[in-house]
Structure 1
Amino acid sequence: MDWGDVPSWALVVVSSCALVLAALAARWSYRAFLTASAAATRADEARREAGERQQARLVAAWPISERETFQKAIERGVVGAAIRNASPMPIYNVEIVYRDEGAAWSAVRHLHMVAPSDEPQIFAGFDEETTTGTPVPERINKDGSVKLVPSAEMRVEISFADTLGRRWRRDDSGVLDVAS
Protein backbone atom coordinates (compact mmCIF):
# COMPACT_ATOMS: atom_id res chain seq x y z
CA MET A 1 0.00 0.00 0.00
CA ASP A 2 1.25 3.40 -0.94
CA TRP A 3 0.66 6.20 1.58
CA GLY A 4 -0.15 8.42 -1.33
CA ASP A 5 -3.38 6.42 -1.92
CA VAL A 6 -4.65 7.07 1.66
CA PRO A 7 -6.81 10.16 1.99
CA SER A 8 -5.23 12.92 4.05
CA TRP A 9 -8.11 12.96 6.52
CA ALA A 10 -7.40 9.30 7.37
CA LEU A 11 -3.76 10.13 8.09
CA VAL A 12 -4.93 12.95 10.38
CA VAL A 13 -7.26 10.55 12.26
CA VAL A 14 -4.55 7.90 12.65
CA SER A 15 -2.00 10.52 13.76
CA SER A 16 -4.49 12.04 16.23
CA CYS A 17 -5.30 8.63 17.70
CA ALA A 18 -1.57 7.91 18.08
CA LEU A 19 -1.07 11.24 19.89
CA VAL A 20 -4.03 10.57 22.23
CA LEU A 21 -2.70 7.10 23.05
CA ALA A 22 0.78 8.52 23.64
CA ALA A 23 -0.67 11.20 25.96
CA LEU A 24 -2.67 8.59 27.90
CA ALA A 25 0.39 6.37 28.21
CA ALA A 26 2.42 9.34 29.47
CA ARG A 27 -0.29 10.20 32.01
CA TRP A 28 -0.49 6.60 33.26
CA SER A 29 3.29 6.47 33.53
CA TYR A 30 3.35 9.75 35.47
CA ARG A 31 0.68 8.48 37.89
CA ALA A 32 2.61 5.25 38.38
CA PHE A 33 5.74 7.31 39.08
CA LEU A 34 3.88 9.43 41.66
CA THR A 35 2.48 6.34 43.35
CA ALA A 36 5.90 4.68 43.49
CA SER A 37 7.48 7.89 44.75
CA ALA A 38 4.87 8.25 47.51
CA ALA A 39 5.39 4.61 48.52
CA ALA A 40 9.15 5.13 48.67
CA THR A 41 8.67 8.26 50.81
CA ARG A 42 6.40 6.36 53.22
CA ALA A 43 8.94 3.54 53.43
CA ASP A 44 11.74 6.04 54.18
CA GLU A 45 9.62 7.67 56.89
CA ALA A 46 8.83 4.27 58.42
CA ARG A 47 12.55 3.37 58.48
CA ARG A 48 13.41 6.74 60.05
CA GLU A 49 10.63 6.33 62.65
CA ALA A 50 11.87 2.83 63.49
CA GLY A 51 15.41 4.14 63.90
CA GLU A 52 14.28 6.97 66.16
CA ARG A 53 12.09 4.62 68.18
CA GLN A 54 15.01 2.19 68.63
CA GLN A 55 16.76 4.44 71.18
CA ALA A 56 13.53 5.23 73.01
CA ARG A 57 12.65 1.52 73.31
CA LEU A 58 15.78 1.01 75.39
CA VAL A 59 14.77 3.53 78.09
CA ALA A 60 12.57 2.53 81.03
CA ALA A 61 11.69 3.77 84.51
CA TRP A 62 10.09 2.07 87.51
CA PRO A 63 9.57 2.85 91.18
CA ILE A 64 12.31 1.70 93.51
CA SER A 65 11.40 -1.45 95.34
CA GLU A 66 14.45 -3.56 96.15
CA ARG A 67 14.42 -3.16 99.92
CA GLU A 68 17.99 -4.31 100.55
CA THR A 69 19.58 -1.94 98.05
CA PHE A 70 17.36 1.04 98.70
CA GLN A 71 16.55 0.51 102.39
CA LYS A 72 17.62 3.99 103.49
CA ALA A 73 15.58 5.79 100.86
CA ILE A 74 12.52 3.66 101.60
CA GLU A 75 12.85 4.09 105.38
CA ARG A 76 13.03 7.87 105.01
CA GLY A 77 9.94 7.79 102.83
CA VAL A 78 11.80 9.32 99.93
CA VAL A 79 10.11 8.92 96.59
CA GLY A 80 12.43 7.35 94.06
CA ALA A 81 12.67 5.68 90.70
CA ALA A 82 15.17 3.61 88.79
CA ILE A 83 15.93 4.61 85.21
CA ARG A 84 17.70 2.34 82.78
CA ASN A 85 19.02 3.90 79.61
CA ALA A 86 20.31 0.83 77.77
CA SER A 87 20.67 2.77 74.51
CA PRO A 88 24.13 3.79 73.32
CA MET A 89 23.24 7.52 73.55
CA PRO A 90 22.23 9.76 76.46
CA ILE A 91 18.69 11.01 76.92
CA TYR A 92 17.95 14.65 77.74
CA ASN A 93 15.39 16.84 79.52
CA VAL A 94 14.14 13.88 81.50
CA GLU A 95 10.99 14.24 83.55
CA ILE A 96 9.96 11.57 86.06
CA VAL A 97 6.35 11.80 87.25
CA TYR A 98 5.32 9.99 90.44
CA ARG A 99 1.62 9.44 91.21
CA ASP A 100 -0.24 8.19 94.24
CA GLU A 101 -3.86 8.30 93.11
CA GLY A 102 -5.30 7.27 96.48
CA ALA A 103 -3.61 10.25 98.10
CA ALA A 104 -4.54 12.59 95.19
CA TRP A 105 -0.82 13.41 95.01
CA SER A 106 1.77 13.68 92.25
CA ALA A 107 5.34 14.87 92.03
CA VAL A 108 7.86 15.61 89.28
CA ARG A 109 11.63 15.25 89.15
CA HIS A 110 13.57 16.98 86.35
CA LEU A 111 16.96 15.72 85.15
CA HIS A 112 19.12 17.33 82.51
CA MET A 113 20.60 14.09 81.21
CA VAL A 114 20.74 10.36 81.90
CA ALA A 115 23.82 8.68 80.50
CA PRO A 116 23.78 5.23 78.91
CA SER A 117 24.37 2.41 81.37
CA ASP A 118 23.92 -1.32 81.62
CA GLU A 119 22.73 -0.85 85.22
CA PRO A 120 19.72 1.18 86.36
CA GLN A 121 20.44 4.54 87.95
CA ILE A 122 18.50 5.56 91.05
CA PHE A 123 17.00 9.03 91.43
CA ALA A 124 15.32 9.93 94.72
CA GLY A 125 13.30 12.98 95.67
CA PHE A 126 11.33 15.39 93.51
CA ASP A 127 11.42 19.03 92.39
CA GLU A 128 7.74 19.88 92.66
CA GLU A 129 4.58 18.28 94.00
CA THR A 130 0.86 18.85 93.58
CA THR A 131 -2.28 17.70 95.29
CA THR A 132 -5.40 17.48 93.17
CA GLY A 133 -8.76 16.24 94.34
CA THR A 134 -9.57 14.61 97.65
CA PRO A 135 -7.58 11.71 99.08
CA VAL A 136 -9.30 8.44 99.91
CA PRO A 137 -10.54 8.78 103.53
CA GLU A 138 -8.49 5.85 104.86
CA ARG A 139 -5.32 7.61 103.61
CA ILE A 140 -5.86 10.63 105.87
CA ASN A 141 -3.92 10.46 109.15
CA LYS A 142 -5.42 11.59 112.48
CA ASP A 143 -3.41 14.82 112.29
CA GLY A 144 -4.91 15.62 108.85
CA SER A 145 -1.80 14.76 106.87
CA VAL A 146 -2.05 12.39 103.93
CA LYS A 147 -0.32 9.01 104.06
CA LEU A 148 1.47 8.18 100.81
CA VAL A 149 2.03 4.62 99.62
CA PRO A 150 5.63 3.40 99.69
CA SER A 151 7.72 4.47 96.72
CA ALA A 152 7.60 0.95 95.28
CA GLU A 153 3.79 1.16 94.98
CA MET A 154 3.66 4.53 93.21
CA ARG A 155 2.88 4.93 89.53
CA VAL A 156 5.89 6.23 87.60
CA GLU A 157 6.08 7.60 84.09
CA ILE A 158 9.02 9.10 82.24
CA SER A 159 9.34 11.53 79.38
CA PHE A 160 12.59 12.49 77.66
CA ALA A 161 14.19 13.78 74.49
CA ASP A 162 16.34 11.47 72.38
CA THR A 163 19.58 12.57 70.73
CA LEU A 164 17.62 13.95 67.75
CA GLY A 165 15.50 16.09 70.07
CA ARG A 166 12.32 14.06 69.59
CA ARG A 167 10.27 13.86 72.78
CA TRP A 168 9.11 10.45 74.07
CA ARG A 169 6.85 9.32 76.91
CA ARG A 170 6.62 5.93 78.61
CA ASP A 171 3.50 5.78 80.77
CA ASP A 172 3.13 3.98 84.08
CA SER A 173 2.11 0.81 82.22
CA GLY A 174 5.31 0.84 80.17
CA VAL A 175 3.69 1.93 76.89
CA LEU A 176 6.04 4.05 74.78
CA ASP A 177 4.73 6.84 72.57
CA VAL A 178 5.85 10.07 70.96
CA ALA A 179 5.11 12.90 73.41
CA SER A 180 3.03 15.78 72.19
Structure 2
Amino acid sequence: MIRWFLNRQARAFGRRYDYDTAYMHDVINAAPKAGMRMAAFPYATGFRGPPEAGEVVAGAMLASTLDGDCGPCAQLVVDMVTQAGGDPGKLRLCAEGMDAEAGDVGMGFRFAKAAISGDPLADDLRAEIEARFGKEAVIAAAFAAATGRWYPVFKRGLGHGAACTRLRFGDRSVNVLTVS
Protein backbone atom coordinates (compact mmCIF):
# COMPACT_ATOMS: atom_id res chain seq x y z
CA MET A 1 0.00 0.00 0.00
CA ILE A 2 2.79 2.46 0.84
CA ARG A 3 4.50 1.78 -2.50
CA TRP A 4 1.26 2.54 -4.33
CA PHE A 5 0.78 5.79 -2.43
CA LEU A 6 4.38 6.99 -2.85
CA ASN A 7 4.45 6.08 -6.54
CA ARG A 8 1.17 7.94 -7.02
CA GLN A 9 2.62 11.03 -5.33
CA ALA A 10 5.78 10.82 -7.45
CA ARG A 11 3.73 10.57 -10.67
CA ALA A 12 1.64 13.60 -9.66
CA PHE A 13 4.80 15.58 -8.89
CA GLY A 14 6.28 14.63 -12.25
CA ARG A 15 3.15 15.73 -14.09
CA ARG A 16 2.91 18.99 -12.21
CA TYR A 17 6.45 20.05 -13.10
CA ASP A 18 7.07 18.04 -16.29
CA TYR A 19 9.88 16.29 -14.39
CA ASP A 20 11.33 12.80 -14.78
CA THR A 21 10.64 10.95 -11.52
CA ALA A 22 12.18 7.61 -12.54
CA TYR A 23 14.73 7.79 -9.72
CA MET A 24 11.93 8.29 -7.20
CA HIS A 25 10.11 5.19 -8.44
CA ASP A 26 13.35 3.18 -8.30
CA VAL A 27 13.85 4.14 -4.65
CA ILE A 28 10.20 3.59 -3.71
CA ASN A 29 10.03 0.17 -5.34
CA ALA A 30 13.36 -1.06 -3.99
CA ALA A 31 13.10 0.34 -0.46
CA PRO A 32 9.76 1.84 0.58
CA LYS A 33 11.24 3.05 3.88
CA ALA A 34 13.82 5.02 1.92
CA GLY A 35 11.04 6.30 -0.33
CA MET A 36 9.19 7.59 2.73
CA ARG A 37 12.30 9.43 3.91
CA MET A 38 12.91 10.84 0.43
CA ALA A 39 9.31 12.07 0.32
CA ALA A 40 9.69 13.67 3.76
CA PHE A 41 12.96 15.44 2.91
CA PRO A 42 11.31 18.62 1.55
CA TYR A 43 9.19 18.92 4.69
CA ALA A 44 12.21 18.56 6.93
CA THR A 45 14.38 21.01 4.99
CA GLY A 46 11.94 23.29 3.21
CA PHE A 47 11.66 26.12 5.72
CA ARG A 48 11.16 29.24 3.58
CA GLY A 49 11.06 31.97 6.23
CA PRO A 50 9.07 35.18 5.93
CA PRO A 51 7.33 35.81 2.60
CA GLU A 52 9.19 39.09 2.08
CA ALA A 53 12.46 37.10 1.92
CA GLY A 54 11.17 34.79 -0.80
CA GLU A 55 13.49 36.17 -3.46
CA VAL A 56 16.55 35.68 -1.24
CA VAL A 57 15.57 32.07 -0.58
CA ALA A 58 14.86 31.46 -4.28
CA GLY A 59 18.32 32.70 -5.20
CA ALA A 60 19.93 30.51 -2.55
CA MET A 61 17.98 27.47 -3.79
CA LEU A 62 19.12 28.06 -7.36
CA ALA A 63 22.78 28.53 -6.41
CA SER A 64 22.82 25.41 -4.27
CA THR A 65 21.10 23.32 -6.91
CA LEU A 66 23.42 24.59 -9.64
CA ASP A 67 26.32 23.63 -7.39
CA GLY A 68 25.12 20.03 -7.65
CA ASP A 69 23.54 20.04 -11.11
CA CYS A 70 22.90 22.17 -14.15
CA GLY A 71 20.19 19.99 -15.64
CA PRO A 72 16.77 18.69 -14.59
CA CYS A 73 17.05 19.56 -10.88
CA ALA A 74 18.03 23.14 -11.68
CA GLN A 75 15.14 23.38 -14.15
CA LEU A 76 12.83 22.07 -11.47
CA VAL A 77 13.92 24.85 -9.09
CA VAL A 78 13.34 27.46 -11.81
CA ASP A 79 9.90 26.03 -12.58
CA MET A 80 8.89 25.79 -8.91
CA VAL A 81 10.02 29.34 -8.11
CA THR A 82 8.34 30.69 -11.25
CA GLN A 83 5.12 28.81 -10.51
CA ALA A 84 5.13 30.34 -7.02
CA GLY A 85 5.33 33.82 -8.54
CA GLY A 86 9.10 34.34 -8.68
CA ASP A 87 10.74 36.31 -11.47
CA PRO A 88 12.38 33.98 -14.00
CA GLY A 89 14.39 36.91 -15.36
CA LYS A 90 16.18 37.40 -12.05
CA LEU A 91 16.91 33.68 -11.83
CA ARG A 92 18.28 33.79 -15.38
CA LEU A 93 20.59 36.68 -14.50
CA CYS A 94 22.04 34.60 -11.67
CA ALA A 95 22.48 31.54 -13.87
CA GLU A 96 24.28 33.64 -16.46
CA GLY A 97 26.72 35.07 -13.91
CA MET A 98 25.02 38.47 -13.55
CA ASP A 99 23.74 37.97 -10.00
CA ALA A 100 24.73 41.53 -9.01
CA GLU A 101 21.92 42.72 -11.30
CA ALA A 102 19.29 40.37 -9.83
CA GLY A 103 18.37 42.26 -6.65
CA ASP A 104 17.38 40.12 -3.68
CA VAL A 105 17.48 36.94 -5.79
CA GLY A 106 21.11 37.74 -6.54
CA MET A 107 21.85 38.38 -2.87
CA GLY A 108 20.50 34.94 -1.97
CA PHE A 109 22.44 33.41 -4.85
CA ARG A 110 25.71 35.01 -3.67
CA PHE A 111 24.98 34.04 -0.06
CA ALA A 112 24.55 30.37 -0.98
CA LYS A 113 27.68 30.34 -3.14
CA ALA A 114 29.70 31.90 -0.33
CA ALA A 115 28.27 29.57 2.33
CA ILE A 116 28.96 26.51 0.18
CA SER A 117 32.54 27.51 -0.59
CA GLY A 118 33.40 28.84 2.88
CA ASP A 119 33.90 32.36 1.53
CA PRO A 120 33.95 35.01 4.31
CA LEU A 121 31.57 37.06 2.13
CA ALA A 122 28.84 34.85 3.60
CA ASP A 123 29.20 36.76 6.89
CA ASP A 124 28.49 40.12 5.24
CA LEU A 125 25.58 38.74 3.23
CA ARG A 126 24.14 37.01 6.30
CA ALA A 127 24.26 40.32 8.20
CA GLU A 128 22.53 42.11 5.31
CA ILE A 129 19.82 39.45 5.03
CA GLU A 130 19.22 39.57 8.78
CA ALA A 131 19.12 43.38 8.88
CA ARG A 132 16.60 43.56 6.03
CA PHE A 133 14.46 40.47 6.60
CA GLY A 134 15.23 39.07 10.07
CA LYS A 135 16.82 35.97 11.55
CA GLU A 136 14.17 33.62 10.09
CA ALA A 137 15.22 34.73 6.60
CA VAL A 138 18.83 33.83 7.38
CA ILE A 139 17.73 30.41 8.59
CA ALA A 140 15.64 29.87 5.45
CA ALA A 141 18.50 30.95 3.16
CA ALA A 142 20.90 28.66 5.05
CA PHE A 143 18.49 25.72 4.64
CA ALA A 144 18.24 26.46 0.92
CA ALA A 145 22.01 26.82 0.54
CA ALA A 146 22.67 23.54 2.34
CA THR A 147 19.97 21.36 0.83
CA GLY A 148 19.46 22.45 -2.78
CA ARG A 149 22.22 20.20 -3.99
CA TRP A 150 20.94 17.14 -2.11
CA TYR A 151 18.70 15.84 -4.90
CA PRO A 152 21.27 16.21 -7.72
CA VAL A 153 23.89 14.39 -5.65
CA PHE A 154 21.39 11.73 -4.59
CA LYS A 155 20.28 11.19 -8.20
CA ARG A 156 23.89 10.83 -9.43
CA GLY A 157 24.56 8.37 -6.64
CA LEU A 158 21.66 6.26 -7.91
CA GLY A 159 22.87 6.43 -11.50
CA HIS A 160 20.23 8.94 -12.59
CA GLY A 161 22.53 11.91 -13.09
CA ALA A 162 21.93 14.00 -16.17
CA ALA A 163 24.22 16.03 -18.36
CA CYS A 164 24.01 19.78 -18.24
CA THR A 165 21.23 21.22 -20.30
CA ARG A 166 19.92 24.58 -21.36
CA LEU A 167 17.53 25.94 -18.79
CA ARG A 168 14.25 27.64 -19.58
CA PHE A 169 13.53 30.90 -17.78
CA GLY A 170 10.07 31.92 -18.88
CA ASP A 171 10.32 32.52 -22.60
CA ARG A 172 14.13 32.33 -22.79
CA SER A 173 16.47 29.34 -22.78
CA VAL A 174 20.11 29.79 -21.84
CA ASN A 175 23.24 27.82 -21.14
CA VAL A 176 24.17 28.27 -17.49
CA LEU A 177 27.48 28.82 -15.81
CA THR A 178 28.28 26.14 -13.26
CA VAL A 179 28.49 27.52 -9.75
CA SER A 180 31.42 25.53 -8.43
The TM-score normalised by the length of structure 2 is: 0.21
Indicate the structure with greater helix content.
2
More contact order relative to length (CA 8 Å, sep ≥ 6):
2
The TM-score normalised by the length of structure 1 is: 0.21
